[in-house]
């Protein structure tokens, strides 16, 4: 069963930060070194200093008790102790405050994609952790050891969930959304902010402490299974690892111990504002075939149709009924081309892996197994270490790279559909890398969940 609980969150003091634009950020894994510096320049109290800080060019903060760690010689490393020092100082100085009552948080994001405006409603809550084989919470992407080691060291140092992962739950009637809307009707939001990177997204948060509303939401969520992690796989697995460590040391921890949970923003799979964007594949540092030769090889499996420009190419790709059309651009010499399969049934045999038919029918699976591997023959290692591929949300950036000689060619994809994500996750399978791009991201700095040994929910 899916268990959610309210919690006494740690958040920025609204008396000190009536406009939170200077202190919120993208999730840690979306922050480049350049963006990190932008966040640092906005405020000495930006959340990026905790979730993705560094040691260079700054003094090490002294903790409220007068101690400090000035280098990286300790077990967890100086950067994690530095994060702990910021956290403790900001609590001491009332930069952060703690909720007086346990709460869940209604979290609304308003944004546009093209000419259409969307509103997505979620709720931030503490979600009980489950191992994947229990079938309550499922992954859909692979994880890597490096980010998990990094997040575990931060969690061990802070004993706080500093960010929310993004969870999808099945609710065809959007009953939870209705309860949230009723709870916040006529109220001004407690947080209303626009983050600088995804600057076209309005982020609004309402604190909900009404016990009957929370109990009603818990009752809807309780029987649900197969919640899917949209974003935050590394953080979820980190929370599982942290829980295992603590349970080994303290086997008598109660079920409602905070460390048995993770902070998550939960969104209905049927929310009308749930948007998944495609991620396009730019091939670079590649010499085996010219773009024209790649097209000629693709013609064995695909019909080729020229498109006048990028917009026309993307429209044709997105309009294809099975999602198995692909765009191609290799520079002015090839122009834009739309590739549509000559034989849909044959595509599954070309995706030569031991996966379900649902996995094999994904556009990203076909793009990698047929176009990138078989047609272009891009070395697998160059894809794995990213030395020969770049991933793009905005296809225009890929086209600019090709025109500037920074890349060889790009495959343009249609987005993965929600029903496909559910089907593949339901098989216990994980999608190829960068299969989904849920837009917008859940920003960091809204609220945090303390998970120290003394914390219970």
Give pLDDT < 50 ranges for the chain.
57, 69-76
For residues 355 and 253, membership in a common domain is answered with no
Give the per-residue pLDDT at 61.
63
Predicted structure pTM score: 0.91
For residues 176 and 202, membership in a common domain is answered with yes
Give the per-residue pLDDT at 107.
98
CATH code of the domain covering residue 331? 3.30.1760
Give the per-residue pLDDT at 433.
84
For residues 253 and 124, membership in a common domain is answered with yes
Give the per-residue pLDDT at 60.
54
Give the per-residue pLDDT at 25.
98
Give the per-residue pLDDT at 71.
39
Give the per-residue pLDDT at 73.
35
- Pairing outcome for strands 227-231 and 137-138: parallel
Reported as a single tens digit per residue, the pLDDT across 262-314 is: 999 999 999 999 999 999 999 999 999 999 999 999 999 999 999 999 999 99
Domain that holds residue 27: 1-275+437-457
Give the per-residue pLDDT at 63.
58
Please classify residue 88 by burial: count the beta carbons closer than 10 Å to its beta carbon, then call 0-12 exposed, 13-18 middle and 19+ buried: middle
d(CA 270, CA 440): 16
144 is a domain residue: yes
Angle between helices 211-221 and 175-184 (to 10 degrees): 170
Give the per-residue pLDDT at 53.
78
Reduced to 3 states (helix: H, G, I; strand: E, B; else coil), residue 450 is strand
419 is a domain residue: no
Angle between helices 78-92 and 145-158 (to 10 degrees): 40
219 is a domain residue: yes
For residues 261 and 285, membership in a common domain is answered with no
164 is a domain residue: yes
Give the per-residue pLDDT at 70.
41
For residues 270 and 298, membership in a common domain is answered with no
* Helix runs in 195-232, H state only: 211-221
For residues 175 and 322, membership in a common domain is answered with no
Domain count, the chain: 2
């Amino acid at each position: 069963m899916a268990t959610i609980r309210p919690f006494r969150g740690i958040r920025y003091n609204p008396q000190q930060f009536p406009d939170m634009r200077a202190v919120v950020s993208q999730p840690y894994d979306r922050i480049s070194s350049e963006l990190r510096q932008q966040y640092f320049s906005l405020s000495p109290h930006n959340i990026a200093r905790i979730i993705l800080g560094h040691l260079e060019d700054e003094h090490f903060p002294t903790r409220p008790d007068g101690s400090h760690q000035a280098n990286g010689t300790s077990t967890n490393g100086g950067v994690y102790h530095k994060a702990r020092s910021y956290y403790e100082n900001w609590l001491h100085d009332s930069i952060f405050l703690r909720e007086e009552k346990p709460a869940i948080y209604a979290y609304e994001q308003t944004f546009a994609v093209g000419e259409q405006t969307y509103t997505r409603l979620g709720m931030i809550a503490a979600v009980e952790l489950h191992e994947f084989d229990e079938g309550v919470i499922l992954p859909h992407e692979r994880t890597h050891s490096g980010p998990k080691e990094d997040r575990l060291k931060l969690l061990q140092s802070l004993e706080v969930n500093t960010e929310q992962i993004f969870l999808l739950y099945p609710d065809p009637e959007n009953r939870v959304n209705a309860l949230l809307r009723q709870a916040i009707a006529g109220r001004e939001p407690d947080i209303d902010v626009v983050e600088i990177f995804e600057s076209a997204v309005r982020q609004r948060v309402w604190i909900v402490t009404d016990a009957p509303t929370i109990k009603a939401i818990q009752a809807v969520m309780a029987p649900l299974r197969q919640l899917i992690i949209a974003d935050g796989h590394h953080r979820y697995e980190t929370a599982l690892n942290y829980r295992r460590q603590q349970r080994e040391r303290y086997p008598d921890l109660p079920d409602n111990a905070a460390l048995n949970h993770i902070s998550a923003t939960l969104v209905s799979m049927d929310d009308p504002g749930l948007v998944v964007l495609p991620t396009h594949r730019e091939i670079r540092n590649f010499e085996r075939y010219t773009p024209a030769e790649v097209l000629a090889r693709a013609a064995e499996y695909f019909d080729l149709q020229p498109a006048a420009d990028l917009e026309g190419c993307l429209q044709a790709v997105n309009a294809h009924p099975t999602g198995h059309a692909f765009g191609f651009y290799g520079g002015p010499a090839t122009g834009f081309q739309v590739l549509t399969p000559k034989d849909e049934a044959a595509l599954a045999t070309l995706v030569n892996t031991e996966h379900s038919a649902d996995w094999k029918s994904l556009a990203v699976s076909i793009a990698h197994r047929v176009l990138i591997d078989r047609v272009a023959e891009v070395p697998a290692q160059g894809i794995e270490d990213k030395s020969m591929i770049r991933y793009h949300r905005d296809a225009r950036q890929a086209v600019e790279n090709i025109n500037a000689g920074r890349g060889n060619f790009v495959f343009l994809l249609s987005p993965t559909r929600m029903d496909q994500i559910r089907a593949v996750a339901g098989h216990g399978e994980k999608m190829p890398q960068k299969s989904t791009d849920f837009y917008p991201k859940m920003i960091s700095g809204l609220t945090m969940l303390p998970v120290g040994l003394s914390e219970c929910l």
